Amino acid sequence: MTGARTAGRHPDFGELMRVLDLTRVGDDEFTGGHPSKNPIRTFGGQMMAQAFVAASRTVGATLPPSALSMHFVAGGDPSRDLEFTVVRLRDERRFANRRVDVTQDGVLLGCALVSHLAGGRGLEHDVDVPVVDPPHGLPTIDDLLRGYEQTVPLFAEALRPIEWRYTNDPAWVMRDKGDRLGHNRVWMTAQGEMPDDPVLHAAALVYSSDTTVLDSIITTHGLSWGFDRIFAVTMNHSVWFHRPIRFDEWVLYSTTSPVAAESRGLGTGHFFEESGRVIATVVQEGIVKHFPGR
């Protein structure tokens, strides 16, 4: 698998870099804004990425991230800034642990646990990377949304800081064809050149990890956003960082859903670099309810 990142810079990419550039208002306190295009509530991937940046800015640069786990408590208001309070749980020479509370006007929206660890060399192995077409030559997300703008308006009008290249039909195209799909595999890369800052590259991955991960829950049943009456909300989300990340290069996000029960579904996935090595693993649980048509 080969191919360089997309040339040029999308205007929405600058907005992502802006919201990840938190304002430090105290040793362990930060504020962060929202982009110009938002869903009704703060996008969970944005909140996680900002919480990750807040935690990382209180840790020495020599300690890479190892894990992030966030529980969502309430939805954020995109018209107001988010407040991030970092609690230093532990600091050692080779590892650090942080808790980040995300609030608005004293209301807790979410809580993240972030760990950093310099583990050194050890055993290595990876799961096999899926066999897919390389990103160049695949349709863009705008190509795949053409004709479906009224069906999935939230996707059509969403912020586009990350370029997506589906290797399979996305949910809405799959549903239109009457198909089912037990996985989703999407090439991703930043829509612009990123600063040489490992925290921002990892934060961009965290931001992107909240896209497509729950799709396999509904595509397994031949359903799609827009076509079917589906309610979905994320409850918790975890990311494990295995290797250094360059998010201005193409990475493959491969996701599946191992289980759905009791109106809850689990989405799991791996991020692969183009060489085929796993750079991160993701698990997300969401409430997913389907209301069949009358």
- Tokens, residue 254: 């491969």
In a domain, 127, yes or no: no
Residue 277: what pLDDT? 98
In a domain, 261, yes or no: yes
pLDDT single digits (tens) 109-135: 999 999 999 988 899 999 999 999 999
CATH code of the domain containing 244: 2.40.160.210
In a domain, 158, yes or no: yes
Residue 62: what pLDDT? 85
The separation between the first and the last C-alpha atoms of the chain, rounded to the nearest angstrom, is 46
Residue 1: what pLDDT? 39
* Domain enclosing residue 40, as ranges: 11-119+136-290
Sorting pLDDT into bands at 50, 70 and 90, what band is 9? confident
pLDDT single digits (tens) 172-199: 999 999 999 999 999 999 999 999 999 9
Residue 162: what pLDDT? 96
How many domains does the structure of the chain reveal? Answer: 1
Residue 198: what pLDDT? 96
Residue 292 scores a pLDDT above 50 = yes
In a domain, 205, yes or no: yes
Share of the chain above pLDDT 90, in %: 93
CA atoms of 217 and 215, how far apart (whole Å)? 5
pLDDT single digits (tens) 203-226: 999 999 999 999 999 999 999 999
Is 274:2 a contact under the CB 8 Å cutoff? yes
In a domain, 6, yes or no: no
Mean pLDDT throughout 42-50? Answer: 97
In a domain, 71, yes or no: yes
In a domain, 259, yes or no: yes
Residue 2: what pLDDT? 39
CB-neighbour burial class of residue 7 (10 A; exposed 0-12, middle 13-18, buried 19+)? exposed
In a domain, 168, yes or no: yes
Residue 286: what pLDDT? 96
Name the average pLDDT for the chain. 94
Whether the pTM exceeds 0.85: the reply is yes
Sorting pLDDT into bands at 50, 70 and 90, what band is 8? low
